[in-house]
Amino acid sequence: MRCNAIFTKTAFFRLILGLAIFSSASFFAPQFAFAVSGTVDISGTVPGCGDGVIQSGEECDGSNLNGKSCSTQGFSGGTLSCNSNCAFNTSQCTSAPSSGGGGGGGGGGGYTAPATGVTFSGRAYPKSTITVLKDAQIAATTVADANANFSVSVTGISSGNYIFSVYSEDGKGIRSSLLTFPVSVTSGATTNIGGVFIAPTIAVDKSEVKRGDNIAIFGQSVPSGEITIAVSSEEEFFGKTAADPNGAYLYNFDTTQLDMGQHFTKSKAAKEGAISSFSKAISFLVGTKNIAAELSRVVTKGDMNNDRRVNLVDFSIAAYWYKRSSPPASVDLNGDGKVDLIDFSIMAFYWTG
């Protein structure tokens, strides 16, 4: 295991070295987004766009609107902003009501711009809280129904490229692994991402188990779902169990077949033809005694998506904010108002893999 840890750190520092070489913020800008329907939306970047300086072919650039407002664009009010392609975004502008004609006809109603946002829907755990992150910041939450179904929307955002993440937390306070979606948001349209199937939560009752004794592997998923348990060794062992009507599952694994040393376990769920991804993997030790498991250590620095780990997901979030203005406090690890190599060095110190 020590060799694996060293390899993981080495890979991370290679990523930081690459970051130092390709220091342009546009290198990390998302250039595409995946739609759950199976289509791929490609969005280009105008050369020079994003540097805050209005150049030929650009109406605006970032917060630089060239002195323009909704009023100068023919609207009565509202907030003018700039799209990622350096064109004006008037979705938050409002039009003046049309005047009545000839002596007394009623005037037309005010124009309401279509909503711009993203809606996520799918399955989690019964009565669990689902949280949506937008660029590592909490954007929306909701509670799943008794059948574990949920739908949550993020509205009031401008068009552009975002990194959305979704996770849930079960009744024992155990958090799921994170599902991440790069999304290209279009002005005046709602992007629907359906079929989200959040992986089960997972925990074990022992951090060390005496070889030959059982270790309890448990968590929560969809009600009455089929749960597949995977335990790693020189070969991988699989077992199946069923979740109860509340989504809770328990699998007692006989460790006789495992070698002495560290092992990992993970789980996934299936129901009505849909299959989740595997949960995060958690470790336990097969040894000469039984030691009860303790709560996971809470990572404070570098854990940008709140999954109690610092890994490549957090690296990708930090990379998105590299040299961008006004990064969130959770990403700006040294609090100097920017994300640079110092922040990546801090992340390396807290790296869990």
pLDDT value, residue 54: 76
The architecture that CATH gives domain 203-292 is Sandwich (2.60)
- Domain 1-30+297-353 and domain 203-292, same fold? Reply is no
Pick the CATH number of 1-30+297-353 from 1.10.1330.10, 3.10.105.10, 3.30.365.10, 1.10.287.180: 1.10.1330.10
Half-sphere exposure of 51 (CA within 13 A, CB side): 9
| Contact of 314 with 303, CB cutoff 8 Å | yes
User: What pLDDT does residue 265 have?
Assistant: 95
pLDDT of residue 26: 39
- Whether the pLDDT of residue 45 is over 60: the answer is no
pLDDT tens profile 192-236 = 999 999 999 999 999 999 999 999 999 999 999 999 999 988 889
pLDDT of residue 25: 40
pLDDT above 60 (res 121) = yes
**Higher-pLDDT residue of 330, 21:** 330
**What is the reported pLDDT for 88?**
81
Per-domain boundaries in the chain: 1-30+297-353, 203-292
pLDDT for the residue 152? 94
Convert the pLDDT of each residue in 125-138 to its tens digit.
Answer: 999 999 999 988 88
Q: Please, what is the average pLDDT of the chain?
A: 80
What pLDDT score does 119 carry? 94
Can you give the pLDDT at residue 62?
Answer: 82
pLDDT tens string 295-327: 554 456 778 777 667 888 888 888 888 888 888
Q: Which segments within 187-329 are labelled E, that is strand?
A: 190-197, 203-204, 206-210, 214-220, 226-231, 237-242, 248-254, 261-271, 274-275, 282-287, 291-292
Q: Is the pLDDT of residue 32 over 70?
A: no
Mean pLDDT of 83-109: 63
Return d(Cα 188, Cα 113) in angstroms, integer: 7
Name the nearest CA neighbour of 168 among 194, 193, 202, 192.
202
Which residue is it, tokens 């620095």?
Answer: 301
Q: Give the pLDDT mean for 16-37.
A: 42
pLDDT of 144 over the 60 cut: yes
Note the maximum CA span of the chain. 95
Percent of the chain with pLDDT over 90: 41
pTM recorded for the entire structure: 0.58
Provide the pLDDT for residue 342. Answer: 85
In which band, very low, low, confident or very high, does the pLDDT at 9 lie, cut at 50, 70 and 90?
low
